[in-house]
Chain A
Amino acid sequence: MASEHMSVEEVKKHTKVYWMIFGSLLVLTAVTVGISYIHLPFTFAVILALVVASTKASLVALYFMHLISEKTAIYLTLALTAVLFVILIVVPWMIPMGAMRSWLVS
């Protein structure tokens, strides 16, 4: 149910969920920091760090930002944003790194 239409009783139930999510986020933060002390191979460390960060971000977006029960207009806005964001992140991988290195050094 969208946040605008929640009754007092429903909000009361949600407040318990908010604190549970807070606890989960603290645990996941501890996991993120713990992983960094193991010094895993770089690629594996990056993937693991991003998986944990994405899980935390999803909890915040779904429950605190109420995306778990939002309207289609918001989902469509975010879907378009996600596509454009992925393009932005993929661009660096398309750049020939030899040319990039010589540009950065010069």
Chain B
Amino acid sequence: MAVHIPYIDKPNPVTGVTNAKLGVWLFLASEVMLFGALFSALITLRLGVSDWPHGYDVLNVPLATLNTVVLIFSSVTVVMAWASLKMHNLKQFKTYMSLTLLMSFIFLGIKAVEYGTKFSHGISPATSNFYAIYFVITGLHGLHILGGIIVNAYLLGPGSHMWKSEPERFTGRIECAGLYWHFVDLVWIFLFPILYLL
């Protein structure tokens, strides 16, 4: 028997937002703590050792800068995808969501080039504390990108059938997926200067 979940497309009178949206924000709160713990570990390592390399000396700043631009652009395209649905334009939604996916793959491709170069030079997480935390944080961030790709690809493909039957609920889903994607962008906004530019 199907269980009806209340307030998935209409705001809950108690919170003023849909249950789905509040759920995503609570999930993002837990994500803040996950990445916060890793940032805390980074600070601990950084303060605990005297010889810590400058990111700009050992990492590829131009590639990371390009990735920053790619991810920021994907943040605009995903919010534009949501705005397109609010303007009842499914075709435009598909264009912007496709662009978001394209940017996601470009980001992962650039990251793969960066990782590949490091591995080809014999550099791995075991090389030093710097590389250990670099690979852990950027690797976890990369996994989040992968998760976003799976969700966004579903919403662009089979998931978009919901637009015909329940447009409001589908728009809410895109907003929730967008919130997650913006969070992934936010994490990178801090990772980029901390790991690459200091």
Q: Are B40's CB and A92's CB within 8 A?
A: yes
Beyond A35-B197, A88-B40: 15 further Cβ-contacts under 8 Å? Answer: A3-B82, A11-B87, A18-B80, A29-B68, A36-B56, A49-B193, A60-B189, A64-B178, A65-B182, A73-B14, A85-B33, A89-B43, A91-B44, A92-B40, A93-B47
What are 18 A-B interface contacts by the 8 Å CB criterion?
A: A6-B86, A14-B83, A19-B76, A26-B72, A29-B72, A32-B192, A36-B198, A57-B186, A60-B182, A60-B189, A65-B179, A74-B22, A77-B25, A85-B33, A88-B39, A95-B47, A100-B47, A103-B48
Within 8 A of A (CB), among B47-94: 47-50, 56, 61, 65, 68-69, 72-73, 75-76, 79-80, 82-83, 86-88
Q: Are A81's CB and B29's CB within 8 A?
A: yes
Q: Are B33's CB and A77's CB within 8 A?
A: no
Q: Are A36's CB and B189's CB within 8 A?
A: no
- Per CB-CB distance, the 9 closest pairs between chain A and chain B, nearest first, are A71-B16, A36-B197, A73-B15, A100-B48, A49-B193, A92-B44, A81-B29, A11-B86, A88-B36
Q: A65-B179, A97-B47, A104-B129 are in contact. Are A78 and B198 (CB under 8 A)?
A: no
> Which residues does A use to contact B, with CB under 8 Å?
2-4, 6, 8, 11-12, 14-15, 18-19, 21-22, 25-26, 29, 32-33, 35-36, 42, 45-46, 49-50, 52-53, 56-57, 60-61, 64-65, 70-74, 77-78, 80-81, 84-85, 88-89, 91-93, 95, 97, 100-101, 103-104
Q: Which residues of A contact B45 (CB under 8 A)?
A: 104
Q: Are A92's CB and B25's CB within 8 A?
A: no
Q: Which residues of A contact B29 (CB under 8 A)?
A: 77-78, 80-81
Q: Are B193's CB and A53's CB within 8 A?
A: yes
Q: A26-B69, A64-B76 are in contact. Are A56 and B61 (CB under 8 A)?
A: no
Which of A22, A89, A93 makes the CB contact (< 8 A) with B76? A22
Q: Using C-beta atoms within 8 Å of the partner chain, give the interface range for chain B.
A: 35 or more
Bound Cα distance A12, B130 (Å): 45
Q: Are A53's CB and B189's CB within 8 A?
A: yes
Which of A11, A64, A93 makes the CB contact (< 8 A) with B182? A64
Q: Which residues of B contact A64 (CB under 8 A)?
A: 75-76, 79, 178, 182, 185
Within 8 A of A (CB), among B1-52: 11, 14-18, 21-22, 25-26, 29, 32-33, 36-37, 39-40, 43-45, 47-50
Q: Are A104's CB and B48's CB within 8 A?
A: yes
> Which residues does B use to contact A, with CB under 8 Å?
11, 14-18, 21-22, 25-26, 29, 32-33, 36-37, 39-40, 43-45, 47-50, 56, 61, 65, 68-69, 72-73, 75-76, 79-80, 82-83, 86-88, 129, 172, 175, 178-179, 182-183, 185-186, 189-190, 192-194, 196-198
